[in-house]
Amino acid sequence: MTRTADNIRGGQLRDRTVVVTGAARGLGRACAERFAREGADLVLVDVAADVPGVPYPLGSAGQLEHTAKLCRAQGAAVLTAAADVRDPEAVREVARQTLDRFGTIDVLLNGAGIAAPSGKAVHEISEDEWDLMVGIDLTGAWRMTKAVIPAMIEQRSGSVINVASTAGLVGYRHFAGYVAAKHGLIGLTKAAALDYGPFRVRVNALCPGSVRDDPLHEGRMLAEIARSLDVDVDEHEEIFVQSQPMNTLIEPQDIAGAALWLAGDDSCQVTGTTLTVDGGFSAR
């Protein structure tokens, strides 16, 4: 797409194309909206359907379109793609469509992820449950990175942001699959940063703590984590706040602000790092 004076907007990400996975709701939506407000054009990716084995509804096609509507209201050009990050051809097609439409891929936010099936000790996890968790939360990010990196190498610039978790820094009882995938994602981040640093392509991890399920973003990750821990969903926010040194949950816009910094020029010398936004939880 050729940009004209009519569609050039201001902001930290002006003239840049950002691919966001897990964009239908939650942190994916919050980050996409923030990127759009800062001038980016967007490719919004989500499975947009339920996945067998995941014990809660995932983002829908309608939610993905709602995210697109919110971003277009900020003046962004938006392409949506219903794609499962476990499907190599679907992922490659996202990269092809992005380049066909916008001609560049400047930022990739790997936000697609699941929190369950969880709630079991290590020996109780089935092969299918383990493969499902790792396949989405870790291998999906690798697969998306693999698809977009060649374009970033060619243009000698780019930023990959892997949404990990405090579960990538510490352990959580009965969440071995999730913890292993998120630790692996941080390891992938560090290795990829070394691989692509010579090409001016940066790779960083973003580790949110307990993020409030903001109804505006239709998030439900914290509620599902609570459910896996047999925590009363009606009281889960108050219970999670008790472990927060700053006595409050993280807001989606807090994560979006950190993602914006990693995407923009102010972090041009930052790569291979882990940016933790958890209100001090992991400092203990």
Just list the catalytic residues.
178
Quick check: helix, strand or coil at residue 128? helix
d(CA 280, CA 81): 36
Peptide linkage before 88 cis (omega within 30 of 0) = no
Q: How many CB atoms lie under 10 A from the CB of residue 277?
A: 18
Which residues are CB-contacts of 264 (< 8 A; sequence separation ≥ 6)?
12, 13, 38
Q: Which residues are 274's β-sheet partners?
A: 205
Other beta carbons less than 10 A from residue 283's beta carbon: 8
Indicate the SS3 state at residue 206.
strand
**Main-chain phi, psi angles of 53, to 5 degrees:** 100, -20
98: nearest Cα among 52, 55, 49, 149? 149
CA 252 – CA 208 distance, rounded (Å): 9
Strands 41-46 and 158-163: unpaired
Rounded Cα distance between 219 and 211, Å, is: 9
What one-character DSSP code corresponds to residue 175? B
Structure tokens at 46: 């989500």
Residue 207: φ, ψ to 5°: -115, 95
Tokens matching residue 21: 């996975």
